[in-house]
Structure 1
Amino acid sequence: MATALLLLGSFGIAAAWILLADARGTQTSWMAVIAAFDAAWLLRLARARPGVLRALAGTVATVLAIVIANFGIVASQLARPMGMLPWESLLKLGPHHAYTLATLANSTVDLAWLGAALVIAAVASR
């Protein structure tokens, strides 16, 4: 049950992150911290046993949210100039191209937010 809840939560927070980034026109990498706290809260809600395994699950859920959100942000940013809808762009975007564009879009400050989110996820989830 905890795994299904974490998957659903990762996709949900990533969707909110994509919408916020699209509305603001920035990466909004601080949302990774919100994703970390969301993962920790969902693990507690699912009554997962405390410990290293729960901390690892929270961190993996946060990484998943980060990857999904960055992929979606890149897809939505590519969709406009190409005259496509974001989900059309999402289906055509390859992982290597998405990785390259996400690397170019994320600044040092963005990477610091993402790194902080992973630490927060590990600590808050244990």
Structure 2
Amino acid sequence: MSWLLLSVAVLGFAAVWVLLGANTGRQHSWMAVVAALDVAWVLRLGGWRPGALRLALGVVGTATAIALANWWLIAAHLGAMLGLQPWESAVRLGSGLAWTLAQLANGAADLAWIAVALVVAAVASR
């Protein structure tokens, strides 16, 4: 049950992040910090015991939310240009193209927000 709760939290938060980014046309990398806090809260709510496992799950869950949000944002923007729905574009998007476009879309400030989010996830999840 706890794994399901964590999975739903990560997927749900990534979806909220994508909706915000797709509607404004920006990355909103500050949402990574909010994702870290959300994952830490869900881990505590799910009854995970404090310790190294909860810390690792918090960091991995946050990193997964960040990766999914970036993938879906790239797919949404690329799909709009190609006349595809975001979910059609997401399944056709290759990892090489996604990596290149993520590097182009995320600047130094975005990478700083992501780094801060991973630290916040580690501290808040322990």
TM score, norm. by length of structure 1: 0.97
Structure 2 distance, partners of 1:75, 1:4, is 25
Structure 2 distance, partners of 1:55, 1:2, is 15
Equivalent runs, 1:1-126 vs 2, <5 Å: 1-126=1-126
CA drift at 1:13: 0.3
CA drift at 1:2: 2.2
Structure 2 distance, partners of 1:74, 1:26, is 11
Structure 2 distance, partners of 1:103, 1:38, is 25
* Structure 1 runs, 4 residues or longer, greater than 6 Å off: none
* One-letter amino acid of the structure 2 residue matched with residue 11 of structure 1: L
Percentage identity across paired residues of the two chains: 52
Q: Count the aligned residue pairs.
A: 126
CA offset digits 1:92-124 (Å, max 9, x no partner): 101111111011100100000000000000000
* One-letter amino acid of the structure 2 residue matched with residue 100 of structure 1: T
Structure 2 distance, partners of 1:92, 1:49, is 39
* One-letter amino acid of the structure 2 residue matched with residue 19 of structure 1: L
Structure 1 distance, partners of 2:118, 2:43, is 15
How large is the RMSD of aligned CA atoms in angstroms? 0.8
CA drift at 1:4: 1.8
Structure 2 distance, partners of 1:111, 1:41, is 23
Gaps of 5+ in 2: none
Q: Secondary structure at the match of 2:111?
A: helix
Structure 2 distance, partners of 1:37, 1:67, is 16
Gaps of 5+ in 1: none
